[in-house]
Amino acid sequence: MIYKLCLGDFQENCYVVANEKNECVIIDAGEEFEKIINFVNKKNLNIKGIILTHAHFDHCASCKQFQDLGVKVYVHKLDADKLSTNKNLSHLFGKTFQNLDADFKFDEGKIIIGNFIFNVIHTPGHSKGSVVLVYKNNVFLGDTIFKNGVGRTDFYDGSAQELINSINKLKPYLNGNYNLFFGH
């Protein structure tokens, strides 16, 4: 089961990916920690980890609170520094942010958390460490691609050319055989 929670001022889509053993991985634990934890508790799910599509604050604002509960946080190595600096853009939008250090800094390849296997596709453009996560036939696009457009590339480590290359890299997943889950 995949559940969607829409969080915070930026209507960020947080996804809770659950298996039949009542375990779950959270993708992009954004604002509104209480809303996420209440949902997970209501469903009686055991959180095995949090994976970030990238580390802008609207996708990771709750991570420190989850980490304090013992949940491990996974982020691409090129976005890891955003978790403890202004680079997560929280200051730009007047948000307070609880800094943290990621537990795991990944690269392109596989992330294995218990029975969950995610394939990581590195898709820089919106940010240097943006990734798309593939779980079975489900694709989590973060802010790389939206339903009607693409993510901004005008932040400090964005690049329109890199985004074009990344979208080309994603073409095999955009052919209708996959379920697409957008970051907003």
Q: By CB under 5 A, name the binding residues for Zn ion.
A: 56, 58, 143
Q: How far is the CB of 77 from Zn ion (least distance, A)?
A: 17
Cβ nearer to Zn ion, comparing 48 with 181 = 181
Cβ nearer to Zn ion, comparing 19 with 89 = 89
Cβ nearer to Zn ion, comparing 14 with 45 = 14
**Nearest residue to 8 (alpha-carbon basis) of 76, 56, 48, 74:** 56
Q: How far is the CB of 131 from Zn ion (least distance, A)?
A: 12
Pairing of strands 145-146, 116-122: unpaired
Q: How far is the CB of 53 from Zn ion (least distance, A)?
A: 8
Q: How far is the CB of 143 from Zn ion (least distance, A)?
A: 4
Cβ nearer to Zn ion, comparing 32 with 143 = 143
Cβ nearer to Zn ion, comparing 19 with 95 = 95
Nearest residue to Zn ion, by Cβ distance, number only: 56
Q: How far is the CB of 159 from Zn ion (least distance, A)?
A: 14
Pairing of strands 179-182, 138-142: parallel
